[in-house]
Amino acid sequence: MEKIQITLNINDKLCEVMVYHNDTLLEVLRDELDLTGSKESCGEGVCGSCTIHMDGKPVRSCLTLAMEAVGTKIRTVEGLANGDELSDLQQSFIDHGAVQCGFCTSGMLMSADALLKNNPKPDEKTVRKALGGNICRCTGYAKIVEAVAHACNPQDDCPDCKTDSKVRE
């Protein structure tokens, strides 16, 4: 079987790549385009570390064929920041110490980003439900949930949140 050429819209850039029919989107992102932010862990849709956005919705890139992604808008973790400026969510992960080994982080960020777009001020239960499909084997869930809940909604009583009043001090 021969490779065929497809065009993918990744992080608002059109990329032409040669793929086999049986290539998953994750393999194309990592091996062909060097976008290694999305990780392969379980490879069967259980862990969530390969999560990306297709047309704004979080999906597993390890269970999506590259051929199926043609014509959709793909956003990976590399596309979250605006140039060198981190997004509020990414900054919040750093501030709250929500990154341990970091392997699950890109998937967590993508799932959380999709949640925050619909609901900028989620409560803890909503965050836990939205991240239900992502596994962190360092088990640092408390920090992650806090980072997501406070990303667009900084709390004065949270020592890790950089609220405007604290910055002024």
Partner 1 sequence: MRLPRFEYLEPSDLEGVLNLLATQGDDTKILAGGTDLLVRMKKGLLKPKTLISLKALNELSYINEEDGCIKIGARTPIADIIASDLIQKEAFALFEACEKIGAISIQHYRGTIGGNILQDNRCIHYNQSEFHRSGRQPCHKDGGKICYARDEADRCNSTCQSDGATALMALGASITLAKKGTERVVEIANFYTTDGIMPFAMESSELLTEIVISIQGGKSSYKRLAYRSAIDYPIVCAGVFLSASDTKKDEIEDARIVVGAMGRSPLFLVQESFSLKGKNLNDTEVFKKVADSSMNSASTFAVHNVGSTLEYRCVMVSEMVLQALKGAAQAVVAAKG
Q: How many residues bind partner 1 (CB under 8 A)?
A: 32
Do the beta carbons of residue 14 and residue 29 sit within 8 Å?
no
Of the residues 18, 31, 45, 137, which one makes contact with partner 1 according to CB under 8 A: 45
- Which region among 61-69, 87-95, 97-105, 145-153 touches partner 1 (by CB under 8 A)? 61-69
Which position has the token pair 């956005």? 53
Report if residue 144 touches partner 1, rule: CB under 8 A.
no
Minimum distance, C-beta of residue 19 to partner 1, in the bound complex (Å): 10
Minimum distance, C-beta of residue 3 to partner 1, in the bound complex (Å): 12
Closer by beta carbon to partner 1, 26 or else 161:
26
Three-state secondary-structure class, residue 101: coil
Give the ranges where 64-104 is alpha helix by DSSP (H).
88-95
CA distances from 73 to 12, 44, 66, 69, 102 (A): 7, 23, 12, 8, 25
Of the residues 3, 13, 21, 125, which one makes contact with partner 1 according to CB under 8 A: 21
Could you give the count of Cα atoms lying within 13 Å of 164 in the half-sphere of its Cβ? 2
Report if residue 75 touches partner 1, rule: CB under 8 A.
no
Report if residue 115 touches partner 1, rule: CB under 8 A.
yes
Report if residue 38 touches partner 1, rule: CB under 8 A.
no
Q: Which of 97, 87, 111 is nearest to 38 (CA)?
A: 111
Three-state secondary-structure class, residue 109: helix
Three-state secondary-structure class, residue 59: strand
Do the beta carbons of residue 93 and residue 162 sit within 8 Å?
no
- Which region among 14-22, 84-92, 94-102, 158-166 touches partner 1 (by CB under 8 A)? 14-22
Q: Residue numbers of the site for partner 1 (CB under 8 A)?
A: 1, 20-24, 27, 43-46, 48, 51, 54, 57-60, 63-65, 67-68, 111, 114-115, 129-134
